[in-house]
Each structure stands twice: as structure tokens, then as C-alpha cells.
Amino acid sequence: MSDGPTYGFDTLQIHAGARPDPATGARQTPIYQTTAYVFRDADHAAALFNLQEVGFIYSRLTNPTVAVLQERVATLEGGVGAVCCSSGHAAQIMALFPLMGPGCNVVASTRLYGGTVTQFSQTIKRFGWSAKFVDTDDLEAVKDAIDENTRAVFCESIANPGGYVTDIRALADVADAAGLPLIVDNTSATPYLCRPIEHGATLVVHSTTKYLTGNGTVTGGCIVDSGKFDWSANDKFPSLSEPEPAYHGLKFHETFGPLAFTFHGIAIGLRDLGMTMNPQAAHYTLMGIETLSLRMERHVENARKIAAWLEADDRVDYVTYAGLPSSPYHDRVTAHYPRGAGALFTFAVKGGYDACVKLVNALEIFSHVANLGDARSLIIHSASTTHRQLTPEQQEAAGAGPGVVRVSIGIEDADDLIADLDQALSKASA
């Protein structure tokens, strides 16, 4: 789209990055199912490989269908560029890859998806990296955790599984004061409910598998670059500020300015890590994003109604939905998430672990799956599945204790979902 008018979210979610196909006039973005692209001549090929010209070389690096998705997500998030990859977990590794080195650490929220906690506490050790987990509501604890080897601060905007909402601006101020980028996983909120870059985030990551696609068909990830961080302000980020041997001494920040991280993510990250998104996955996600705002409105509307019903039910100990007036984070939602607190939350079932298992087994409309952000309503007992690898202390810190189930509220009829929960709770408490 042109740089002229300022378009609204509903228009951008359909049109951003997309243009009629120049060869055929096709209005929907085609699936460019190709491995490689023909160069005009030898000089053209050399210019592409030298990063002197932007274009398509090989689909591990760049693909026209994926490029449209990258531009669309970047536009919706208010970033300068984006890099799509094979999954949300891949996006997290790719976000850290240019920043970290052996001996470096990331300060991360304790309220994270269980797979992320495992990735940060176990897997990244193989790279010589480490993570320090802190309660990001305690800003002094965040400050104390940052040391000379810290290279980023990481959080989720609306945390999985409990639906906790983060004060991104406050966390960004701490990161800024330390000269560090703030990375925000915006999967659960989507840019319709929250745009972390507007609150000071440097990078935004997504599992596009979830709400952006919205139909449970494909996996994918995305890293959005705000273009606002000075990678050359100190010597902490040599991958972006110092000469790159593989490109004859090119300095990414000096050469590409605000797009330094984006170009590095493609030219180094995708080139060497190979965490590529396939064009068909990008196509499904593009189609999903076209209805993002409509779906999120219904997700939030249903979540509010169902959370209120659960909170009033004697068979339920508590509900963590931040959109409830009783939530300690309700004021934060009003200030920073005015369109709603999403549709992901947990509730504790009286009877503990066994009652949760009975509940999950008795549900008929809710699907018992390890996913979220689908048009369908989903449920999972995190302590026995997604957070099973964590210690009991880590489970409790993440809001995934043994007596808790996580729900991702879909866009079905809310009364039908309540009736399903009602009959399942009766069986769980029998």
C-alpha cells in the first residue's frame, strides 16, 4: 500500500503488503511454491548475494508469499520490518541469535509459556547462553537481575497460561536505562489488542500458529523489528554493529540503519539456522489475518462472559482473567489493553488435579489440545502437559499449578460453551 493515507486496522489487516500479482492480476496473494529464482544476469546475482540489492535468491531466505506476510505483520505491529520463520519457538531463538553470545544471559519473566521456560532454562545452555527468571511486576528485581552480560529482557504481553497482562512501558523503561532491547511475545494479545512497540518494545515475537492464523492449520513464527534501537551505542551487540566476515566486513547497523535487525535475521539467521516458513503456511496465515479484528472482538466478548460465569460458580476456586473487575490487573487492562484482555486464562477447579482431569475428559465442545488461539474453544491441564517438564515451583510461578486448567475461548456461541463447562464441572465435582 502507498505511504499516503493513514489506514485503519481493519483495512491494513486485509491489504498491507499485498498487491495484485503483476504477472496474472490475481487479487489474492499467490502461493509461490518454488525453491529458487532466476537471476537477470551475473551482476544481478552478485548484487543480491552482496546485500547490495533486495530480491529473491532462494526460499530458505526469501519468498514472495512470505514477504507479504512479513510486511503485513510489521505494519499491524507498527514495526519497520519482520522476519517470518517456522514456529514461535524458532522466532524466539532467532530474536536472541544476533544479540547473544557464550556467557550472555537474558532476563525473562517467570510468567511464560512452559515450552519457553524449558527453552530458556535448558536448551539455550547448549549455545552457552542462560536465562534469569524474575517477576516482572517487581521492577527492582528486574534491575537487580541485569548484569554486564545481560543482552535482553523478555516477557509476554498477555502471558500464557494465566492471562496475566504485563506493564510493557514500565519494563521498557528499565531495559532502556540499561541499554538493552525489550523483546515482547505478543502471541496472546495480537496487534489488535496491544502494540508493544508503542509501549517501548524493541522486538515483538509471535507464534503465528495461534490467533494470527486463527484456524489451527499451520505452524509459524515472526519477529517484528521496531527499528528504534541503537545497536551501535555500545559494544554489546557486535553481530549488528561490528564488521561481518561473511559479507566482506559489512556492518549491518551502519549499512541498513533501522532495518539492521531485519536484514540480519534474513541474511544470517535464516541463512544459517534455516528456520524457514513455507509459502503455504504464509498463505494460510495471510487469510487468517484478514479477519483478525472480527475474531478478536468475539474472542474477548466470549471470554468476558464465560470468565464472569466461572467466577460465580461454587465449583471453581478462582479465575485469572484480567478482564474481570475483580482482577488485580483490571486497571492495567483499562490503561494498556483498552480493547480487552484477550481470551486466554486459567481457572482452578475444586478437587485439584483429579477434578481437572475429570473436567477435561467430560467436555464436549471444548477440544483438549496443546494449542491456543483457534476459532474453536480449547482446554488443557497445563501441569500434566505443556508445563509437565517444570518443577512444582516453576509450575506455580507460571500459573500452571496442579489444580488449574487453561482455556482458550473461541468464537462459538458463548451460552453453548457455558453449558458445556457446566455439565463437565458437575461430573468433575461428583
Global pTM exceeds 0.85: yes
pLDDT for the residue numbered 23: 85
pLDDT for the residue numbered 396: 77
Q: What would the mean pLDDT of 16-40 be, rounded to a whole number?
A: 93
Helices (H), ranges, 390-429: 392-397, 414-428
Going by pLDDT thresholds of 50, 70 and 90, the confidence category of residue 230 is very high
Residue 204 — left, alpha, or beta (φ > 0 → left; ψ -120 to 50 → alpha)? beta
Residues 379-394: pLDDT tens digits? 999 888 777 777 888 7
Q: Which helix (H) or strand (E) holds 408?
A: strand 404-408
Q: Which residues contact 50 (CB under 8 A, 6 or more apart)?
A: 247, 248
Please identify which residue in the block is written with the cell numbers 488449574: 404
Instruction: Say how far apart CA 162 and CA 110 lie, in whole Å.
Output: 12
Nearest to 77 by CA among 178, 167, 160, 157: 157
198 neighbors 346 (Cβ within 8 angstroms): no
Q: Which helix (H) or strand (E) holds 97?
A: none
Cell of residue 117, nine digits: 521456560
Q: What would the mean pLDDT of 49-71 be, rounded to a whole number?
A: 95
Domains and CATH numbers, the chain: 9-288 (3.40.640.10), 293-428 (3.90.1150.10)
Cell of residue 420, nine digits: 458445556
pLDDT for the residue numbered 4: 53
